[in-house]
């Protein structure tokens, strides 16, 4: 939703409600962990009140532990924290689960998939960043395909049920290959919201991957 028109947030949310999208992916940025600020709790409230699908909240913030309960109250169904922002990742993941939410971990482009080996069995979702987080509209990093394959193997080897989500620069050119490499969830922002007919674009992406 980072790429949507915030001046018309309710109608953008309605468009997604009525589209073939499965989830709302909400990027929260603090200007510290990433070089940009997106929005805070008042906007989250608008999603809570209007969105009729799963709220997948991606916390691109330092010290996410301080905000887990707040985002739970704000209607998050999935809370994803960054590997690079959590010195006590296992504890953070347990806190998310104690809130009865799905727990996700995101890894930046420079972070190896193998760093998740000891935690993969505890995760509901892994988000592979296919751009450097902080801004919408960036181009897709091709090494992501290898990381998705590697993560699929890691998940299978550990009998984990974690979903593989790819976030950044997803479009109709890379979507099919990402699914073939083992991804389950694709986050599309600018490709959808900057297109002429976002709802049709979502349908097109959906038909490519299903």
Residue pair 184/160 in contact by the 8 Å Cβ criterion:
no
Cβ nearer to Zn ion, comparing 124 with 167: 167
- For residues 25 and 188, what is the distance between their CA atoms, to the nearest angstrom? 9
Instruction: Give least dist CB 185 to Zn ion, A.
Output: 11
- 95 sits near Zn ion (criterion: CB under 5 A): no
- 56 sits near Zn ion (criterion: CB under 5 A): no
* Number of residues near Zn ion (by CB under 5 A): 3
- 165 sits near Zn ion (criterion: CB under 5 A): no
Residue pair 94/105 in contact by the 8 Å Cβ criterion:
no
Cβ nearer to Zn ion, comparing 28 with 116: 28
98 belongs to the catalytic site: no
Residue span binding Zn ion (CB under 5 A) among the ranges 27-35, 47-55, 68-76, 114-122: 27-35
- For residues 42 and 166, what is the distance between their CA atoms, to the nearest angstrom? 27
- 84 sits near Zn ion (criterion: CB under 5 A): no
CA distances for 199 relative to 7, 18, 23, angstroms: 18, 8, 14
Cβ nearer to Zn ion, comparing 3 with 158: 3
65 belongs to the catalytic site: no
Contacts of 145 (CB under 8 A, 6+ apart): 177, 178, 181
- 58 sits near Zn ion (criterion: CB under 5 A): yes
Strand intervals (E) in the chain: 23-29, 54-60, 78-82, 102-107, 125-129, 163-167, 185-187
Cβ nearer to Zn ion, comparing 128 with 155: 128
- 30 sits near Zn ion (criterion: CB under 5 A): no
Interface ranges with Zn ion (CB under 5 A): 27, 58, 167
Active site residues: 27, 167
């Amino acid at each position: 939703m980072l790429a949507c028109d915030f001046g018309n947030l309710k109608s953008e949310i309605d468009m997604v409600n009525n589209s073939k999208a499965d989830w709302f992916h909400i990027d929260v940025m603090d200007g510290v962990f990433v070089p940009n600020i997106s929005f805070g709790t008042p906007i989250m409230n608008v999603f809570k009140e209007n969105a009729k699908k799963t709220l997948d909240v991606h916390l691109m913030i330092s010290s996410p532990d301080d905000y887990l309960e707040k985002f739970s109250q704000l209607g998050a169904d999935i809370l994803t924290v960054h590997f690079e922002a959590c010195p006590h990742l296992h504890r953070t993941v347990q806190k998310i689960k104690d809130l009865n939410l799905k727990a996700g971990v995101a890894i930046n482009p420079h972070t190896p998939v193998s760093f998740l080996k000891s935690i993969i069995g505890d995760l509901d979702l892994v988000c592979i960043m296919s751009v450097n987080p902080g801004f919408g509209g960036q181009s897709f990093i091709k090494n992501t395909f290898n990381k998705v394959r590697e993560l699929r193997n890691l998940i299978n080897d550990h009998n984990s049920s974690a979903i593989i989500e790819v976030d950044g620069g997803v479009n109709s050119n890379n979507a099919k290959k990402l699914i073939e490499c083992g991804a389950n969830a694709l986050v599309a922002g600018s490709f959808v919201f900057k297109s002429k007919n976002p709802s049709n674009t979502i349908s097109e992406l959906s038909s490519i991957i299903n």
